Amino acid sequence: MSYTNTREEAANILEISTRTLDRYVKSGKIRAKRKGKIVYIHDDDLEMQKNGEPELVRPTDRIRKGGTESTSAEYPDIVIFDETTSNGFSRKPVMVDYRDLYEETLRKIADKDRIIQDLSYRTGQAESELKNSVSMIEYKKQTFLLESAKAKTEDDIKLAQSEVLKLQEQVVQSKFVLYLLIVLVAVMMIVSSFLLFYFI
């Protein structure tokens, strides 16, 4: 048996993520062994996965379950690191339990639902606190007062503008009367001068 490719190299060869490769190893599709901190992948299993070949039944890989022999095709096995063995590696039967996967998925979904409910509850609390921080009646009262003040200000502006127009008209009329009086005084002075000259 040859284990020449590291975990990362094998993932690159199969064009999959290292996490997917770990699932293959865990499910028994690919054998692996650890040397120190580095995990190596079995070359034959890597080649079979790369070519898409089905898993082979190895006569030497028979395991015993419940008193009867079963092949590793029925119960896939995986090579794992084991400090208790002489060479440091042992073969452990691994079965994929889809019920466990399903239940784990349901647990994760339930956890996420709880998180969502908690966030919704907190959002509702924040909205409630925001509404209670300013009384709605007080808010409407202040809004009404502001609108009333705005309307009164607009009315005052219109009144002031009309007063300005009236004053402008009065100024024009006063100027006209003043000019008329000046002309009248001038005419009277001319007439009086003429009469005075005529009688003397």
Angle at 93 between CA 91 and CA 99, to 5 degrees: 150
Relative to beta strand 77-81, strand 89-93 is antiparallel
Q: Tell me the pLDDT of the chain averaged across its residues.
A: 77
The overall pTM is greater than 0.85: no
Contact between 32 and 42 (Cβ < 8 Å)? yes
Compute the Cα dihedral for 89, 92, 96, 99 and give only its sign. Answer: negative
Distance CA 157, CA 153 (A): 6
Model pLDDT, residue 79: 46
Model confidence over 183-198: pLDDT tens digits?
A: 999 999 998 888 888 8
- pLDDT > 70? residue 134: no
Using alpha carbons, list the distances in angstroms from residue 147 to 35, 115, 150, 154, 159.
Answer: 80, 44, 5, 11, 18
Model confidence over 98-126: pLDDT tens digits?
A: 777 788 888 899 999 999 999 999 998 88
Task: Map residue 33 onto helix, strand or coil.
Answer: strand
Domain boundaries, the chain: 3-96
- pLDDT > 90? residue 131: no
Model pLDDT, residue 179: 92
Model confidence over 138-186: pLDDT tens digits?
A: 778 888 888 988 889 988 999 899 899 999 999 999 899 999 999 999 9
Model confidence over 13-66: pLDDT tens digits?
A: 998 998 888 888 888 888 898 888 888 998 888 888 888 765 543 333 333 333
